Amino acid sequence: MGLVESGKLPKPLTSLLNLSRKYSIWAYQWGLACCAIEMGAALASPRYDVMRLGVIPFPASPRQADLVIISGTVTDKMAPAVLRLYEQMPDPKYVISMGSCANCGGPYWDSYSVTKGVDQIIPVDVYVPGCPPRPEALLEGIVLLQERIQNEDMAARWKGEPIVVA
């Protein structure tokens, strides 16, 4: 058992490791509808360069990702695929729900086939509101996630316990 799992990591070392983790996030994008266009603008265009924030987009698979960004309408038929994607990611893993459809079902909330928010399937760390949200809103969500990573207890996160922000 290592220092992280035992919870005996010194505070200065925890701060240093959290600082390095917050600036090296591999982001996997899961675009399901129109919000994916805005997500693509934030992740791939030179105007909203996310790599300056320390976010590396486009990993080869979910097994190499630290963060998944779910954007668009999550249908009941797509829910098992979203869960499988989340389960394939290594710990510690983070989720950003982008857009009102992913957050709560959006304008389709009363449809029989729409999941009323991705948080009913997987735990969400940051919600980015909007229909569709602007790329700047996604960048702000990423910065908020980085602040949480900087202040989190690593041992609790690796054990799958909820985040407690100091």
C-alpha closest to that of 101 among 91, 93, 109: 109
More confident residue, 110 or 166: 110
Residue 90: which CATH number? 3.40.50.12280
Look at 118 and 18; give whichever has higher pLDDT. 118
Average pLDDT along the chain: 84
37-41, 74-78, 119-123: least confidently modelled range: 37-41
Instruction: Calculate the alpha carbon distances from 10 to 24, 38, 71, 149, 156 in Å.
Output: 21, 41, 37, 17, 14
Residue range 10-22: mean pLDDT, rounded = 79
* Residue 2 domain-assigned (yes or no): no
Collapse the DSSP code of 67 into the 3-class scheme (helix H, G, I; strand E, B; otherwise coil) and give the result. strand
Q: Is residue 4 part of a domain?
A: no
5 found inside a domain: no
The number of folded domains in the chain is 1
104 assigned binding-site residue:
no
Q: Where are the beta strands (DSSP E) in 17-166?
A: 25-31, 55-57, 67-71, 94-98, 126-128
Confidence of residue 166 (pLDDT cuts 50, 70, 90): very low
Range of the domain at 89: 26-154
pLDDT value at 7 more than 90: no
